[in-house]
Structure 1
Amino acid sequence: MSRNPQSEPSNMPRFPYFLPRANNHLTTKIATTITLTVTLSTPLFSQVSIDNLKQNFQNPPADAKPMMRWWWFGTAVEKPEILRELKQMQADGIGGVELAFVYPQVVDDPSKGLINHPFLSPEMLDNVRYAQSEARKLGLRVDVTLGSGWPYGGPATTLEEAATRLRTVEIPFPANATILPQPDLAEGESIISISLVNGEPKHWDAATTQTIIPSEISSINASTTPRTALFFIASHTRQQVKRAAVGSEGYVLDPFSHQAVATHLKTVGEPLVKAFGPTPPYAVFSDSLEAYGADWTPNLPEEFHKRRGYDLLPHLPELVAGGTPAAEKIRHDWGQTLTELVDENYLTQINNWAIEHHTKFRSQTYGEPAVTLSSQHLVTLPEGEGPRWREFSTLRWASSANHLFGNKITSAETFTWLHSPVFRATPLDMKAEADLHFLIGVNQIIGHGWPYSPPQAGEPGWSLYAAAVFNDNNPWHPVMPDVTRYIQRISYLLRQGEPANQVAILLPTDDAWAHFSPGKVTVTGEMTHLITPALMSAILSAGYNVDFIDADTINRQGIHYPILVIPPTDRIPAETLQRILRYSSINRGKVLCLGHTPLHVTDGALASFVWSGPHQLIPPTIVPNESALIEALHTASAPDFSLHTKSSVARDQIGFIRRRLPNADIYFVANASNHPIQATATFATVYPSGEQWDPDTGVSLSISSTDVDLNLAPYESRIFVFAKTGSQSGRPTSTPRTDSTNTSHPGIIDLSKNWELHFLDTNKTETQPTLTDWTANPDTKFYSGEAVYTRDFTLTAVPTKPVSLEIEGGTPTTPQPLAQPDRPVGVRNPLVTGTGPGMRAWYDPPIREAAIVYINGQRAGSLWHPPYRLDVTHLLKPGQNHIEIRVYNTAINAWAALPPHDYKPLIEKFGDRFQMQDLDKVKPVPSGILGQIHLVTEISQ
């Protein structure tokens, strides 16, 4: 990306001094005395009424609703079903859809009305037009993916414009030989450069490189030493678009090529956006960059020379071999050039195109190729993915960018691998993952997802090969409005004010570039090694929240965090080093270097002299390792959130995020573990008092900002609002929920026995003297759907104290490895995700999987996550009372009774475009009420 100060966005804080990043032929001296005046901008807030904030929390605006990725398979869709599903989403509290066109589910069957309309065919585009029109009538937002499957590409992408890679052919060149043999070239390949090196294939010395001019390959000077001929070839990855719809098959485009991207926008983007007519989509979408192995483009040598000031081709042997400082320098410059090309030709071009078409560009700007954190300032709506809370994640990568660049909304592709196989995910799983997203800074959930599924497909219907299913084919769907309302409330609150994270971690982007190698050009991939889970956990467990920052962002707008943490870093740009010195010496910012200070500025000069000597500079604090980081952080600045507990697990599993308003502080706090946690918390707010808000009910409780009892059930969350002037609503309107493990029960009525149970979809009725798992009965082992538990109970009088219906008995389960076939497995937080990149709640609840409670014919509420408790005081009456609990399990039990689906006809027709995940796990799971049911009075707090 450009490093010219004239290109800085006008809304970014500007500094009066700008030092260009040093390149290989420019040595920049670092000033030993700094006398510049730096003015940090102070964000301006509008005064917020806390009562209005609470009112909006209880009834949040529609734009905070979660969205859904809406998969159109084939595309075999029909207008009546399109409209029905849109209406269902609206009823479920879903705020909009992202149209996503993927692989076919069936072979064409006109007799059943199942026809795969080819991608961009008139029929398909007419359905797009209809869907967006009807969605808007329903008040739903509509985004669209600019393509089918992922990444961008398809039939309009010729081999010439397809993703390109550097291929190296090594051919032995014996002693005394004078004529070079020629390598075989595939279609579309060309020789970039030829070199001779001493040694044998795979064991040659790049320092002995002799570049060969193509016209001289038939007359090489003889040598008594065996050599290897290196042919560097511009080749192609030949990667095909993944999960493509019918008619969208083809090569993945070259993301470094302006022309390849322009071709895609013209042939795919234009027809899709034109189908929206006079009302363009809210946003056009680009999924995560997964152009695997793309590390070259035809004009790279020319661009490299223009940007770096020297010729790349003679250094290709060093680039391929690696292992020396000189090779790392070449790889660094190569990686930096690739980043600039994808920034300019992919991100900037698409973003400008979106603006010209009166829409926004929503981009998952990570993966391959080599985008950086700063690349995200080139798109309107940066988006993240992956609930990796206590390690490097592309989700925090995106939320950090939005915090840095002043974007109010951070969206996330959410629930991507939630509790495989596809119909196994539950509302509790949804909450466990959504809360991690909130802790990282997300405030717009985009569920992954909603499969279009026509009635002809039967039950459980169509689904993506490896994703949760949130349409109404899942039996627990009746509680979806309660789940979405929870998400909507938290999303709304986390949009208020501004982010208040205290710590910034400087991403060692220059080291990441230096670690590149042919076929491996991903900055985010390198960051998973450079930003360790131990580093992330130390900061979070110390009571701070954190953003990432990179050198280019510091160079553009300075550092606006109390603490800057620099992980072990070898390379840092000269200008960035200057700005860090200003930050620490003039602005008194705290700089903590883990292990050591950065060793070199990027022109190769030593940086260590800057951190010492008679310069009247404030030196950074050197922290020897992650275990010493907590103390260093506490010395630098008081933590934002202090947890007082003897349990180290509690400190590691309770997370928070804070939003700062001009007259209030908002804290979202969540237990990310499968165990109840008892602790006392202190919030570092200037306001001595505030309120605790229940995110399910909106009920409030007055609290102090210090020594707050924080008794959280597994996966429970709370909201804390501290204000300059408290809410006028005063005392709580009813008793807030507390963890059932921390209550005293002087008044308990046991309702655990003698229930009538009616299975709605079978008309089967039975009596359960003791609550029993549905799968224990052969008649209901494979039942998926709704079952109604009913019984009567008698009260001599309604208690004067609050009464709650409580279902107890949930137990933690042991995390197991979770697989994700499309992406590599890495280290994960075991209490949340197991050891794979998938996600689920490791907890067996007392209700499998959700319930809605009615007392005396009135709805008391839903139960779908711990603590399983509802305030029912206002529904009780003296004498006989009637209770009805409608329980919903998942679709997987019924699916387990079906014969295996035969995909052979589909594969014969369209090829093997998807592989259903975890089919060996399709088996009945426990269902029904499995805990103890009590009416409880006098809940202590």
Structure 2
Amino acid sequence: MSTRTVVLKDIRNIFIGIVLSCLLLNSVPGTAQQLNPWPKPIQENKPWARWWWMGNAVDTVNLSAAMQKYHEAGFGGLEIAPIYGAKGFEDRYLRFLSPAWVNTLRFVLHKGDRLDMGVDLTTGTGWPFGGPQVSTEDAATKLVYRIYRLGKGQRLTEAIRPADQRDKKAVLSEVVAFDGEGNAKILTEKVDTQGMLDWDAPQGDWTLYAVFVGKTGQQVKRAAPGGEGYTLDHFSTAAVDHYLNRFDTAFAEQEIGVRAFYNDSYEVYGADWTPGFFSEFEQRRGYDLRLHLPELFADTGDVRVARVKADYRETVGDLLRENFTERWTAWAHGRHAKTKNQAHGSPSNLLDLYATVDIPEMETFGSSDFPIPGFKPGIKPKSGDKPDPVLMKFPSSAAHLKGKPLVSSETFTWLGEHFRSSLSQFKPEVEQCFLAGINHVFYHGITYSPQDVPWPGWLFYASVNMVPTNSWWPHVRGLNTYITRVQSILQSGVMDNEVLLYWPAYDIWDDPKGGMKSLTYHNVEDWLHPATFYRIARALMDEGYGVDFVSDRLLADLQADRGHLQSPGGNRYRVLLVPAARRMPLETLAKIKEFAEKGIQVVFEQLPEDVPGFGNYEQRNRLFKQLIDSLSSATNIHVTPDVVSGLGKMKFMGEPLVHEGLRFVRLKSGGKTIYYVVNHGKEDLDKWIAFNTQSRHVLLMDPQQGDFGWCNAKIQGNQSQVHLQIRTGESLFVQFGDQSSLDGLPRWNYREALDSIIELSNAWKLSFREGGPQLPVDTQLKQPIYWTALPGEAYSSFSGIGVYETSFTLDAIDRAGRYDLVLDDLAESARIWVNDEDAGWIGSVPYQLDISKYLKQGKNTLRIEVANLMANRIRFMEKNHIKWNDYHEINVVNIDYKTFDASGWDIQPSGLQGNVVIRKYRLR
């Protein structure tokens, strides 16, 4: 047969195949789109990662190779964060925003387009914002003051200067004298250029307050080359504009193409002032703060002091929101980019800051304890920081209220000790993010490292080392696939929370002690945990209520609509809960009453006591009392000391599934109600579960393996009952819709009973690949044991992939049954191959995997590729004084920020141990 004849025959066969495919698809209308209900992944469905550029020592060859690896591992995007560099590589450094650096950024953006990977960029280097373009005038500013005392007829004989020599460059702003009755005289104009005051004290004793504009002196932390300099004054529009102008100059008029500009958690230490603050204060609060300096600088329990300080703190928050966050966001929009911001740490209302940007972002710091049997907790810092589900709901609440589709998280900051954090810790920790309404995960993080740098490559001092040199990197795609499936659903709809919980931020500001209030992750036990708000938020979540938080500003944007609170973002809430609040603005209370009169159910734990602040207090207090008195006769307002039980008395019940040890979030999408359900409890669950919705048509979707199928619900009253089988450590989507949404989909297979246990009794082969410091020799085993239990340092020091292989025979295959591979103990994750087909990933409890479709009658082969931690290899290097940790500014430190030393670590168990069996179930 000629070549031409073969080609024509192939073309004919291809044409016939296409025609038959089209006829087949057309014969079942709609089936093509519905055969797989998982959305086709887009960039933002996949996990992203912060991408540390150490010293900006980047080049196109290594960048291209690295991005290809990230893409193959299932990453959807990267967030470039330039920082300090490795020693000995200074000749490779690129100065931040230099033409060479900008060209390299453009290369990364083009490469990202080819790989379908997005790119974000922090607007600076290290943190917080700052750099060489920040002059002393534009630098972070602090309030400095000094007190002088004079009697009748006395005058100052010394120049007015700050008491602390470290503040000697602070500029005098105001001098105000107060007599014993609190009467004030502004003396600023009587001070000459040498700081001498031309004033004799009149009758009585006088206290002089000299106020200076000082500078914190803070430099950019962990700055990259070209990013060194003072930290920015975030409260000054001029300073912010000057700062951003450097980026305009570097990028010129060309389109950059980053998806979003990013700002890390607010860590501007000691900055509590800005030039012109007195004027800004008077415009916003209605009185002259200079006349109340004794209250501002006091530290007593006086109510008046607390009120003045509350006004000061509110003004600081306003300036941060307006002059930095809003201005920076407008600048980014002018460059066709979004903003992504972490508000925690700020001296401002966190909800309002999150609402200002395009992508609100939280951070998870430390590790959680889960009661999941077999869960291996991480090593915790002595500080005790750990992820807090209530704190994580601040960004998601703002996003839901404002209709922002993405809520991100800097995930796994200090999840555990370096080299000892496992993928099995990642999964429940990231699920806790999802349960808080976060739907766009950023790992913390990936450190760029050139290919010629020896193992372990360059590493960031506070990261979980999500790097290709990590021994479990070959298994990252398994976790990424799970996260992608979850996020593809969570991003597809609108969160369906019914309860809106008011956050009494003014109770935090109304405090006579201290100065500015920074709401940091590391002091939640001061500003969050003691609050009634926190107790109620936890109780609502524990009782199965979907809850978002609302600030005074965000509450003002809501509308009453047919018994629901309608947010600008499209979310609708059935009830507004108000915790016990000492202070509430008059406008907020009036708005709440208006809502109640329009049919909104409002539940107070107790009525607020008074308005916050000092300005025009008498009039505001009088109107507030009148409004409080009128609430007694207002409809739809309920006052109860137990607001959660009060909801029950109103016949408004939470989701009952939480009483079965499950956690959930609920969303609406295209007429469907979708629950993401997670079992972080102690026991497997196999029973009928009630949901607060009414539909008989249910789609179950397993994000672990991607399985899906329909089942029927039972309607009981106003609830749907669904049979769920969900092991501890597993999650499930439960989607309620109509019959048409299930057309063409298979029925969900329930495990009915354990039919048999297939023991794998043949010998095992253990071999090694992809690791070091050397590959141990292959060995034969009667049954799987940890390779670290074998004699010899080659086994105990190895970090990488160990491959356990065996074979077994099945006399018959029951295609109507289910076969689950079950591992006794795994250290730390595994990729499973059955008959040379990739059957999936086991990376967290439960160590089980459905392998039914890969089995065959007769002889079968099983290959379990196990990845351990980096710990044993690092231990070997430390014991043998092999240098790997040599950076400018800071080396890799341990979890308590002490000198890192792994030489005394115990050998970390590695590999597979115990019985490996196949459990066969009958299905129905």
Normalised-by-shorter TM-score class = 0.7 to 0.9
Deviation string 1:76-106 (CA, Å, 9 cap, x unpaired) is 1222110011111111111111111011122
Among residues 432, 435, 441, which one is paired with 2:431 in the alignment?
435
Q: 280-289 vs 141-150, which deviates more?
A: 280-289
| Separation of aligned partners in 2, 1:159 and 1:674 | 57
Among residues 394, 412, 415, which one is paired with 2:409 in the alignment?
412
Structure 2: give runs of 5+ residues left out of the alignment.
1-29, 192-196, 369-385, 560-564, 567-572, 714-718
Among residues 759, 770, 789, which one is paired with 1:776 in the alignment?
789
User: 1:696 deviation in Å?
Assistant: 2.1
Match of 1:686 in 2: 694
| Separation of aligned partners in 2, 1:694 and 1:805 | 15
| Separation of aligned partners in 1, 2:31 and 2:185 | 73
1:215 aligns with 2:190: yes
Does the Cα contact within 8 Å between 2:696 and 2:736 map onto a contact in 1? Answer: yes
Alpha carbons of structure 1 residues 163 and 91: separation in structure 2 relative to 1, 3 Å? same
Please list, as runs of the form range in 1=range in 2, the aligned pairs for 1:797-808 lying within 5 A after superposition.
Answer: 797-808=812-823
Q: TM-score, normalised by structure 1?
A: 0.81
User: 1:320 deviation in Å?
Assistant: 1.9
1:748 maps to a residue whose letter is I
1:497 aligns with 2:476: no
Match of 2:844 in 1: 865
| Separation of aligned partners in 2, 1:180 and 1:54 | 88
| Separation of aligned partners in 1, 2:261 and 2:755 | 58
Match of 1:716 in 2: 730
2:201 maps to a residue whose letter is N
User: 1:279 deviation in Å?
Assistant: 4.7
Among residues 761, 766, 790, which one is paired with 2:805 in the alignment?
790
User: 1:550 deviation in Å?
Assistant: 1.0
Q: TM-score, normalised by structure 2?
A: 0.83
Deviation string 1:787-815 (CA, Å, 9 cap, x unpaired) is 11011112222235424233244xxxxxx
Alpha carbons of structure 1 residues 748 and 716: separation in structure 2 relative to 1, 3 Å? same
Match of 2:228 in 1: 249
Does the Cα contact within 8 Å between 1:170 and 1:231 map onto a contact in 2? Answer: yes
User: 1:218 deviation in Å?
Assistant: 5.2
Query: Which secondary structure state, in structure 2, belongs to the residue aligned with residue 600 of structure 1?
Result: coil
Does the Cα contact within 8 Å between 2:820 and 2:920 map onto a contact in 1? Answer: no
| Separation of aligned partners in 2, 1:640 and 1:862 | 35
Deviation string 1:145-193 (CA, Å, 9 cap, x unpaired) is 1100111001111121111111233456689854365444635302333
User: 1:608 deviation in Å?
Assistant: 5.0
Alpha carbons of structure 1 residues 630 and 206: separation in structure 2 relative to 1, 3 Å? farther
| Separation of aligned partners in 1, 2:882 and 2:132 | 29
Count of aligned positions: 826
Identity of aligned residues (%): 27
Match of 2:306 in 1: 328
| Separation of aligned partners in 2, 1:390 and 1:249 | 31
Match of 1:534 in 2: 535
Query: Which secondary structure state, in structure 2, belongs to the residue aligned with residue 536 of structure 1?
Result: helix
Does the Cα contact within 8 Å between 2:705 and 2:840 map onto a contact in 1? Answer: no
Does the Cα contact within 8 Å between 2:817 and 2:921 map onto a contact in 1? Answer: yes
Match of 1:378 in 2: 356
User: 1:257 deviation in Å?
Assistant: 0.7
Match of 1:568 in 2: 580
Alpha carbons of structure 1 residues 616 and 534: separation in structure 2 relative to 1, 3 Å? closer
| Separation of aligned partners in 2, 1:206 and 1:395 | 48
Alpha carbons of structure 1 residues 63 and 324: separation in structure 2 relative to 1, 3 Å? same
Deviation string 1:882-901 (CA, Å, 9 cap, x unpaired) is 11111111222211111278
User: 1:314 deviation in Å?
Assistant: 1.8
Alpha carbons of structure 1 residues 270 and 565: separation in structure 2 relative to 1, 3 Å? farther
Does the Cα contact within 8 Å between 1:752 and 1:771 map onto a contact in 2? Answer: no
2:404 maps to a residue whose letter is N
Match of 2:917 in 1: 934
Match of 2:639 in 1: 622
Does the Cα contact within 8 Å between 2:785 and 2:914 map onto a contact in 1? Answer: no
User: 1:215 deviation in Å?
Assistant: 2.2
1:600 maps to a residue whose letter is V
Query: Which secondary structure state, in structure 2, belongs to the residue aligned with residue 446 of structure 1?
Result: strand
| Separation of aligned partners in 1, 2:105 and 2:317 | 34
Among residues 605, 612, 621, which one is paired with 1:605 in the alignment?
621
| Separation of aligned partners in 2, 1:905 and 1:469 | 14
Deviation string 1:817-838 (CA, Å, 9 cap, x unpaired) is xxxxxxxxxxxxxxxxxxxxxx
The structure whose Rg is larger is 2
User: 1:593 deviation in Å?
Assistant: 2.0
1:495 maps to a residue whose letter is Q
User: 1:931 deviation in Å?
Assistant: 4.0
Query: Which secondary structure state, in structure 2, belongs to the residue aligned with residue 330 of structure 1?
Result: helix
Structure 1: give runs of 5+ residues left out of the alignment.
1-48, 199-204, 810-845
Alpha carbons of structure 1 residues 59 and 932: separation in structure 2 relative to 1, 3 Å? farther
Match of 2:6 in 1: none
1:513 maps to a residue whose letter is W
Match of 1:522 in 2: 518
User: 1:764 deviation in Å?
Assistant: 1.3
Alpha carbons of structure 1 residues 724 and 881: separation in structure 2 relative to 1, 3 Å? closer
Query: Which secondary structure state, in structure 1, belongs to the residue aligned with residue 819 of structure 2?
Result: strand
1:638 maps to a residue whose letter is F
Does the Cα contact within 8 Å between 2:577 and 2:643 map onto a contact in 1? Answer: no
Query: Which secondary structure state, in structure 1, belongs to the residue aligned with residue 763 of structure 2?
Result: strand
| Separation of aligned partners in 2, 1:503 and 1:73 | 45
Query: Which secondary structure state, in structure 2, belongs to the residue aligned with residue 424 of structure 1?
Result: coil
Alpha carbons of structure 1 residues 306 and 447: separation in structure 2 relative to 1, 3 Å? same
Alpha carbons of structure 1 residues 53 and 439: separation in structure 2 relative to 1, 3 Å? farther
Q: 231-240 vs 786-795, which deviates more?
A: 231-240
Query: Which secondary structure state, in structure 2, belongs to the residue aligned with residue 412 of structure 1?
Result: strand
Alpha carbons of structure 1 residues 264 and 224: separation in structure 2 relative to 1, 3 Å? closer
| Separation of aligned partners in 2, 1:344 and 1:878 | 69
Query: Which secondary structure state, in structure 2, belongs to the residue aligned with residue 748 of structure 1?
Result: strand
Please list, as runs of the form range in 1=range in 2, the aligned pairs for 1:723-802 lying within 5 A after superposition.
Answer: 723-725=737-739, 727-729=741-743, 732=746, 735=749, 744-751=753-760, 754-760=763-769, 761=771, 762=775, 764-777=777-790, 778-779=792-793, 780-802=795-817
Q: 497-506 vs 386-395, which deviates more?
A: 386-395
Please list, as runs of the form range in 1=range in 2, the aligned pairs for 1:451-530 lying within 5 A after superposition.
Answer: 451-515=447-511, 519-522=515-518, 526-527=527-528, 529-530=530-531
| Separation of aligned partners in 2, 1:457 and 1:206 | 71
Among residues 834, 854, 857, which one is paired with 1:875 in the alignment?
854
Query: Which secondary structure state, in structure 2, belongs to the residue aligned with residue 160 of structure 1?
Result: coil
Among residues 169, 173, 176, which one is paired with 1:188 in the alignment?
169
Query: Which secondary structure state, in structure 1, belongs to the residue aligned with residue 657 of structure 2?
Result: strand
Does the Cα contact within 8 Å between 1:177 and 1:223 map onto a contact in 2? Answer: no
Deviation string 1:749-772 (CA, Å, 9 cap, x unpaired) is 122773211122415112222432
1:83 maps to a residue whose letter is S
| Separation of aligned partners in 2, 1:462 and 1:568 | 50
| Separation of aligned partners in 2, 1:383 and 1:523 | 15
Query: Which secondary structure state, in structure 2, belongs to the residue aligned with residue 76 of structure 1?
Result: coil
Query: Which secondary structure state, in structure 1, belongs to the residue aligned with residue 44 of structure 2?
Result: helix
Alpha carbons of structure 1 residues 515 and 916: separation in structure 2 relative to 1, 3 Å? same
1:562 maps to a residue whose letter is R
Match of 1:116 in 2: 93
Does the Cα contact within 8 Å between 1:165 and 1:297 map onto a contact in 2? Answer: yes
Report the aligned-residue RMSD: 3.2
Alpha carbons of structure 1 residues 615 and 108: separation in structure 2 relative to 1, 3 Å? closer
User: 1:732 deviation in Å?
Assistant: 4.3
Query: Which secondary structure state, in structure 2, belongs to the residue aligned with residue 926 of structure 1?
Result: coil
Deviation string 1:516-560 (CA, Å, 9 cap, x unpaired) is 865533356644543654222200011112111111112122343
Does the Cα contact within 8 Å between 1:118 and 1:247 map onto a contact in 2? Answer: yes
1:418 maps to a residue whose letter is L
| Separation of aligned partners in 2, 1:912 and 1:614 | 59
Alpha carbons of structure 1 residues 162 and 939: separation in structure 2 relative to 1, 3 Å? farther
Among residues 310, 314, 336, which one is paired with 1:358 in the alignment?
336
Deviation string 1:682-723 (CA, Å, 9 cap, x unpaired) is 111132341221112232241426444555434321110011
| Separation of aligned partners in 2, 1:330 and 1:54 | 64
Alpha carbons of structure 1 residues 426 and 62: separation in structure 2 relative to 1, 3 Å? same
| Separation of aligned partners in 1, 2:393 and 2:631 | 39
